[in-house]
Amino acid sequence: MNGLSIIMKAFRLEETERTPWVPFVGVHGGKLIGADAELYLKSTQLIVEGVSKAVELYRPDGIPVIFDLQVEAEILGCKLVWSKENPPAVVSHPLSEGVELNSLRLPRKTDGRFPVVLDAAEKLRKKFPDLALYGLITGPFTLALHLLGTDIFMKMFEEPDYVLEVMEFCTQVGVKYSRMLLDAGCDVIAVVDPMTSQIDPQSFEIFVSPYARQIFNYVRSSGKYSSFFVCGHAQQNIGVMCDCRPDNISIDENIPLDYVKQIALSKRISFGGNLKLTSVLLLGDEQDSKKEAVSCLDSGGNKGFILAPGCDLPMDTPVENLQAVTDLVYDEYLQQVAREMKHSSSLQPLNLDTHWKKGKVVVDIITLDSGSCAPCQYMVEAVKQASTAFGDKVIVNEHKIKDIDGIRMMKALGVQNVPTTCINGQISFISQIPQRRELEKAIEKAMTLN
């Protein structure tokens, strides 16, 4: 099944045979091709190259064209400061610096970096017809905050009507940019409104809901799908976000996934998230990433859930961490292994002092369970067959990581993957089932060293 159709199924709350996976590759795409954030976000060619590389490495079902919440603000007169590792930052707020709201015009297709993004979307559409292409727009509240600066918060209290006028304008910008992105070939419009995490549900309903709803209604009337992205401490707003009727909501690690699942599904809306960005994907290793991913998969389930990072991937996110998540998405055995390993950190490695036998070769096979995991079964069979010729000079042990002692043995031997075969304590064969001759040679070599 192609990525687009599995994501559409999730949006429609139909059961999926596996969980769809959408890595939010923004400036991380630049990292993949050796371009800094500024060059990357200003070049159609680099965006297409970066996203293509991400598609090759991470085998996603859907992917954003770019992740930059400053594109519309820049066109509307906000000054940007560019960085080499991040999307740019807005550093001036025209509506707080003397510019009148009624002097702002709705952007056109040719303004600012719209041509870069739209051109990239068209090219990616042609190149990856089966991928769900996400067009990201700045949510109306976040765009209003770009235009007004933090004055918006006092103005919500002192001049609410003015803030509502700004919101209406930002919504029109959002609808217009959505139309452009859909025309360029995007399948999903993601309304990214992180700043809504700052306000309470009552204010959300007054200042955000009517406007966000307009954008989602527009996308639906165009026959396409929408998602509402928020990050930060926004748990209080999940219900009102769903009431805006997007097709999907996407959240980060600050909100428990099972909480979102419960609210979203009760309101018949699909949901996504919330792989930990910093502590796991950026700073952790492959094992951490796998455990985190399986934890999300288990909470999310296979109905209406899309696995995604909590937000825009930091530029320097290690490729191998995201590939570890990718491998896990496509491989049920890996999921089982990660599940078994989830509670392993409090376990001590087994003491191996009495494990070795003089004059004998000890072969340890770390498996999930050869009774239920096919690759593990083939590994165990291969080792047993190869060792028969050596009689009692070879001792073969299977250690199932479904048992606590299996995990402790895995730790003691320094094994990271399952199935893995160790000969006299040396990791010899990882995941791949070796040929019989190869195994025999390895055992013979160990004998000569005994």
Partner 1 sequence: MSIPLHLITGFLGSGKTTFLMHYLDTFSKGRKIGVIQNEFSSAGMDGKIIRSHEGTYRLLEINNGSVFCVCLLGSFIDSLAAFVTDSSPDEVIMEASGMSDPVSLGQIFQSGKLRDKVYLGHCWTVVDARNFDKLAFLRSRLEHQLRIADTVIINKYDLAARGQVVSVTNSVKKLNPYARIETGSFARISFTGEKQAFKYLPEMENTESCRPDLQSVVIKSSRLINLERLVDFIDSIKDSFIRCKGYVNITGNRKMAVQGSFDYVTVDQVDWFPGVTELVGIGKSEEKNYLELFESYCNP
With tokens 């006299």, the residue in question is: 424
Considering the rule CB under 8 A, would residue 157 count as an interface residue with partner 1?
yes
Residue 159 found at the interface with partner 1 (CB under 8 A): no
Q: How far is the CB of 207 from partner 1 (least distance, A)?
A: 9
> What residues numbered 31-50 form the site for partner 1, per CB under 8 A?
none
Q: Which of 15, 258, 332, 444 binds partner 1 (CB under 8 A)?
A: 258
Both tokens assigned to 446? 């160990």
Return the structure tokens found at 260: 């979102």
Given the complex with partner 1, which of 148 and 379 has the nearer CB atom? Answer: 148
The reply on whether position 197 binds partner 1 by CB under 8 A is: yes
Instruction: Using the rule CB under 8 A, give the single segment among 39-47, 288-296, 325-333, 408-416 that binds partner 1.
Output: 288-296
> Binding to partner 1 by residue 294, rule CB under 8 A?
no
Q: Which is nearer to partner 1, 140 or 185 (CB)?
A: 140
Pick between residue 167 and residue 195 the one whose CB is nearest to partner 1: 195
Reduce the secondary structure of the chain to three states and give it as a string. Answer: CCHHHHHHHHHCCCECCCCCECCCCCCHHHHHHCCCHHHHHCCHHHHHHHHHHHHHHHCCCEEECCCCCCHHHHHCCCCEECCCCCCCEECCCHHHCCCCHHHCCCCCCCCCCHHHHHHHHHHHHHHCCCCEEEEEEECHHHHHHHHHCCHHHHHHHHCHHHHHHHHHHHHHHHHHHHHHHHHCCCCEEEEECHHHHHCCHHHHHHHCHHHHHHHHHHHHHCCCEEEEECCCCCHHHHHHHHCCCCCEEECCCCCCHHHHHHHHHHCCCEEEEEECHHHHHHCCCHHHHHHHHHHHHHHHCCECEEEEECCCCCCCCCHHHHHHHHHHHHCHHHHHHHHHHCCHHHCCCCCCCCCCCCCCEEEEEEECCCCCCHHHHHHHHHHHHHHHCCHHHEEEEEEECCCHHHHHHHHHHCCCCCCEEEECCEEEEECCCCCHHHHHHHHHHHHHHC
Q: Which is nearer to partner 1, 278 or 397 (CB)?
A: 278
Of 77 and 232, which CB lies nearer to partner 1 in the complex structure?
Answer: 232
> Rule CB under 8 A: is residue 256 a binding residue for partner 1?
yes
**Taking contact as CB under 8 A, which single stretch among the options 108-116, 279-287, 374-382, 436-444 is the one that binds partner 1?**
279-287
Shortest reach from residue 317's CB to partner 1, in Å: 8
Only segment of 321-329, 336-344, 416-424, 425-433 that touches partner 1 (CB under 8 A)? 336-344
Query: Smallest distance from the beta carbon of 74 to partner 1, in angstroms?
Result: 13
- Among 35, 47, 195, 242, the residue binding partner 1 under the rule CB under 8 A is 195
Taking the complex as a whole, the smallest distance from the CB of residue 395 to partner 1 amounts, in Å, to 31
- Shortest Cβ 86–partner 1 spacing (Å): 5
Which of 22, 13, 10 is CA-nearest to residue 265? Answer: 13
* Alpha-carbon distances of 130 from 5, 60, 67, 280, rounded to whole Å: 8, 11, 20, 30
Q: Does 315 bind partner 1 (CB under 8 A)?
A: yes
Q: Note whether 377 binds partner 1 by CB under 8 A.
A: no
Minimum Å gap between C-beta 90 and partner 1 is 6
231 binds partner 1 (CB under 8 A): yes
Which position among 72, 253, 286, 398 is part of the footprint of partner 1 (CB under 8 A)? 253
Among the listed ranges 144-152, 168-176, 214-222, 329-337, the one in contact with partner 1 (CB under 8 A) is: 144-152
Quick check: 200 binds partner 1 (CB under 8 A)?
A: yes
CA dihedral 329, 86, 209, 249 (to 10 degrees): 0
Which residue number, 289 or 421, has a Cβ lying nearer to partner 1?
289
Toward partner 1, which CB reaches closer, 116 or 199? 199
**153 is a contact residue toward partner 1 (CB under 8 A):** yes
Q: How far is the CB of 191 from partner 1 (least distance, A)?
A: 15
Query: What is the distance between the alpha carbons of residues 304 and 198, in angstroms, rounded to a whole number?
Result: 27
Q: Which residues bind partner 1 (CB under 8 A)?
A: 69, 81, 83, 85-87, 89-93, 142, 145, 149-150, 153, 156-157, 194-195, 197-200, 202-203, 231-233, 235-236, 252-259, 274, 276-280, 282-284, 288, 291, 295, 299, 310-317, 342-346
